[in-house]
Structure formats: C-alpha cells, structure tokens
Structure 1
Amino acid sequence: MAVPELAPRRTLGGVIAVWVLAALIGVVVGVFAAAQWRGAWLAVGLGGCLVAAFAIQLWSGRSQGFTERVAASVLGAALVMGVISLGFGLASIVPG
C-alpha cells in the first residue's frame, strides 16, 4: 500500500530551469556560431536540454507526471530556442 505524500514537492522549478538553460544556449549559439551553422548548433543545444530535463526530473525523485514534466520542459525549450533563433534570423536580414 502506498502512502500519499503530505506535502508534494513543487515541480515547476525544474521545468523553468530547462527553459532558462535553453535561453542561455540559444543566445550563446546566436552570438558565437557562424550563421550557416546556427541551426545545427541549436539542434545540439536542444539535445542537451533534453538530457538536462531528464536529469532534473529524475533528481526530483517524483514519478507522478514524469513524462508530462519532461515533455513540458523540452517543448518549452524548443519554443524558447525558436523565438531566439527567429530574432537572430531577422537580425541577419536587416541591413546595417
């Protein structure tokens, strides 16, 4: 018989941590990578976010909702990286 948790840990912090990591990776790739290699490096960065999401969610020690938390982490990371790469893409076509 399983005993319910009296005060479950908050899990939103781990999801947001992956989003922040994705933002940092997106900015670093946008600043330091050559324009023709940005897409490839963003894909590598998103893979790193996937590994980080698994590690953070496993570290939290909660099995309930594990798949949903990892999915939310990776989907949010993809959206964050997409918005950042859109910004760098638009900045590259603006004459200056």
Structure 2
Amino acid sequence: MHVARSVGHNGGVTLPELAPRRTYGAVIATWVVAAVLAVVVGALAPTEARAEWMAVAMGLAFIVAFALNLATGRSQGFVPRMAASVLGALVVMGLIGAGLGLATLVGAAV
C-alpha cells in the first residue's frame, strides 16, 4: 500500500543579488551634505543666530539622510545606516560649528 506524503517545508528559496548596491554611499553622502550645510550656515548666518541655523541645518541633514537611505532600495541594515548617517552628520556639523565658534572668538580678540 502506497502512503501519500505531503510536501514538506525545505526552507525558503533565496535569490542571490546579482549586483549588490553599495550600502554606505548614502551615509558618506549625508556627511558631505551636512558639511556643506554647516559651511553655508557659517558663511550666511549672522554670528548671533548661528546656533539656531545649525539646528535647522541638522534637521535638513536628517531629512536628506532619510531620503538617501530610502533611495538605496535595501531594507537590510536600514536602522544602522540611518544611525550612522545622522550621528556622523551631527559630529561633522559639531566640528565645523566648533571651528566657527573659535574663529569668532579669535576674530573678536584681534
């Protein structure tokens, strides 16, 4: 007597990526955008209002980071890429802001 067997689950079928995209290009691009925004704020904003404009620029850098990381089209590692993008942008803008603050202090002393 022949017993019919049901088809078992062998695991999911995975397709290899033919041309994997670079995942950290959006992170570096966000850092570059943050640096450009910080320099623009330093050049155009009045000295008394630079801190407020840096906060606005950081918000814009966050939106850019979100858009660039979504544009990569990869869901794997989205949160770590966003964290690296935003934290890196914060560090870049902080360093440039500190440089602008020191330049203002030195300029006022001279």
TM-score computed with the length of structure 1 as normaliser: 0.93
- Matching residue of 1:24: 36
**2:100 pairs with 1:88:** yes
Instruction: After TM superposition, list the pairs within 5 Å mapping 1:1-96 onto structure 2.
Output: 1=12, 2-94=14-106, 95-96=109-110
Aligned-residue Cα RMSD (Å) equals 1.1
What do residues 51-84 of structure 1 show as CA deviations (whole Å, max 9, x unaligned)? 1111011111000000110110010000000000
Partners of 2:19 and 2:31 in 1: CA distance: 25
Over the matched positions of the two proteins, sequence identity in percent amounts to: 55
Measured after TM superposition, the shift of residue 39 of structure 1 is 0.7
Which of the pair is proportionally richer in helix?
A: 1
Unaligned runs of 5+ in 2: 1-11
Unaligned runs of 5+ in 1: none
Measured after TM superposition, the shift of residue 3 of structure 1 is 2.5
TM-score computed with the length of structure 2 as normaliser: 0.82
Instruction: Name the amino acid aligned to 2:90.
Output: A
Please tell me whether Structure 1 or Structure 2 has the larger radius of gyration of its CA atoms. 2
Corresponding pairs, count: 96
